[in-house]
Chain A
Amino acid sequence: MKKRRVLMELRDVWRTYTLRKGTEVNALRGLSLKIYQGEMVAIIGPSGSGKSSAMYIIGALDKPTKGKAFLKGQDITRFHQNHLAMMRRREIGFVFQSYNLIPEYTAVQNVWMPLLFEDVPKDEREARAKKILTDLGLGHRLDHKPPEMSGGEQQRVAIARALINNPKVILGDEPTGNVDTKTGEEIIAILKKLHKKGKTVILVTHDPRIASHCQRKIHIIDGKVSQKGGKK
């Protein structure tokens, strides 16, 4: 087996949330995992397993309470918030279960928002957003706002937004959770195509059928990688 490059690594990561009354909850308890460049991997686990907490750290949205997280060999636990924002912008594209589009913006605007933060001029932003949306079959929905679109269309807008900065990683959080089976398959097909084009695709899900599309599955239970599934 050829040696694969590690893109991301979590090393003995703990994440402790302090609740309002001072109670501490350990969502992650020494999670260690590696994501290799160009793979399509599922992070799977029941609700409450800590997979969402893991996703936030993998996505550079959150920092571990203890332990280290590496993205392209850099320890991101030491980065300032604004640096993390830049990493998210350039390296990671998020696709959420509930699409997380901004309802008052059109499809095109939603898609070019990440470029605004890169100071890309308006004409270029619009052109790039329109191209990606058209490639994803949404040429007829460019100026529609999310509430005027179907769930599948909204999720494709979200994928377009995730792709606009040409990131290495697509991070999906139950991306098919809110759509019907047929649309879900279409979404998976798009993600598979992106994987074929060389993107690293990480899907966080509780649904084994979705996970079955991935080459590798990482099972998380009680805030740790479950040994029986993890080393397959």
Chain B
Amino acid sequence: MLKDYFALAVQSMRHRHIRSWLTMLGIVVGVAAIVSLIALGQGLENSINEEFEKIGVDFITIMPGSSGGVPGMGFGAAKLEDGDVRVIERIKEVDIVSPMMTSVEKVTYGNEERYTYVSGMVADDVVDMYFNKKAYQIVEGRVPRATDRWKAIAGYKVSKDFFGKALKPGAKVEIKERDFKIVGIMEEIGNSQDDTQFLIALEDAKIIYDREDYDVIMVVPKKGQDAEEVAEKIKKELEDYRDEEDFQVFTSKQMLESFNSVLGIVQVILVGVAAISLIVGGIGIMNSMYTSVLERTKEIGILKAIGATNNHILSIFLVEAGMMGAGGGIVGVLIGMGIGKIVEIAAVEALGTTYLKVCFGPELIAFSIGFAFVVGCLSGLLPARNAANMDPVMALRYE
């Protein structure tokens, strides 16, 4: 018979449609906020995890600067140099040791100037770490070669609309007043930093930057070695060599984990705020149900006179409150999905990142609607009990 109560609730909500919609709006806003935030957060997490999986989770990154700060933010006098590279190379569990210099530089193409990341790396290491593993591919031209001098590989966006005109392999660009010939274009990676970068030979980078120290040393352990153990070993060896722990060693897995935990905290806070709006929505339902109970006092009296028990009356109002919650939940999920999609598109358009791919799991949708239904029922409980416990004679006489 519950079906009949649902039908009656729909009828009653239609009868008071403007107020019903306004009441539901509170829930709609809360659910839409929760759904879009969780979907975006989940999507972001998925894309990042995917990206890490592509290049493998076995990378070890060494950066100068004392620990305790955010990875990559270590500044100061500490420098990583060739000596450090040789120390790491001596560790037998290590396969590739790739020092790297990176800096934002002025790049000129034709008569247009842009500032973007220019990284110097050893060509063979780049090929081994990325292109041979099929993590990334060259879409035009060729991979870098050890014999390349004054040549550059450009990111995907550079070849498209980074400059006023498209850039093809063979084109000449000027980086820090030196001419470089583009030999290859990388595939789209999905974030604007990587997609607008230039990759040049480490030797050339040393010349144009006029320094010998490295910004990052990337290490790939030998097959079958545990990255965390190797990272520990590197840390110990470097400490012995440098007498000081003025550098940071972390594995890509640790990076991923710390990234995920930060993302998790941000998500919890955002969803918490959204949940508050859902509670406000619940209070809205409660308020509306109290008004409705008062307004329908006479009706309650009539229903009791024709034989409704307290439980029947309770069901009528509880079902109505629950449906307002669930209805708001359904609309909220739809709107939340819309918002998520819009943010995803906006992120591609405005930020050039394809990392914000929304992800609407069936659990998220089911949970949101279910939760909204529960909020509705809980909010309706007190007003419905008021209605159920009304004295039939008093209710009947109410005008």
Contact = CB atoms under 8 A, between A and B. Distances in A.
B307 A81 contact: no
B8 to A, nearest CB: 8
Contact of A94 (B3, B305, B309): B305
B151 interface: no
Q: Which 6 A-B pairs have the closest CB atoms?
A: A89-B307, A82-B309, A104-B15, A85-B309, A100-B302, A114-B306
B114 interface: no
Nearest to A112: B4
A127 interface: no
B310 A90 contact: no
How large, as a class, is the contact surface on chain A?
Answer: 20 to 34
A81 B303 contact: no
Nearest to A81: B310
14 contacts: A56-B393, A62-B392, A81-B309, A85-B310, A88-B305, A88-B307, A94-B305, A100-B298, A100-B305, A100-B396, A104-B15, A118-B307, A161-B306, A165-B307
Nearest to B389: A81
A102 interface: yes
Contacts of A96: 305
A94 B310 contact: no
Nearest to B14: A104
Contact of B4 (A62, A100, A114, A116): A116
Interface in B341-363: none
A100 B301 CA distance: 9
Contacts of A85: 304, 307-310, 312
A59 B304 CA distance: 11
A61 B306 contact: no
Interface of B: 1, 3-4, 11-12, 15, 298-299, 301-312, 392-393, 396
A90 B307 contact: yes
B309 A117 contact: yes
A100 B396 CA distance: 9
Nearest to B311: A82
Contacts of B11: 104-105
Contact of B306 (A89, A119, A122): A89
Nearest to A145: B15
B302 A61 contact: no
B307 A86 contact: yes
A59 B305 CA distance: 8
Given A81-B309, A82-B309, A102-B299, A61 B304 contact: yes
Contacts of A100: 298, 301-302, 305, 396
Residue with the greatest number of chain A CB neighbours at <10 A, chosen from B15, B302, B304, B307: B307
B394 to A, nearest CB: 10
Residue with the greatest number of chain A CB neighbours at <10 A, chosen from B298, B301, B303, B310: B303
Contact of A61 (B299, B305, B311): B305
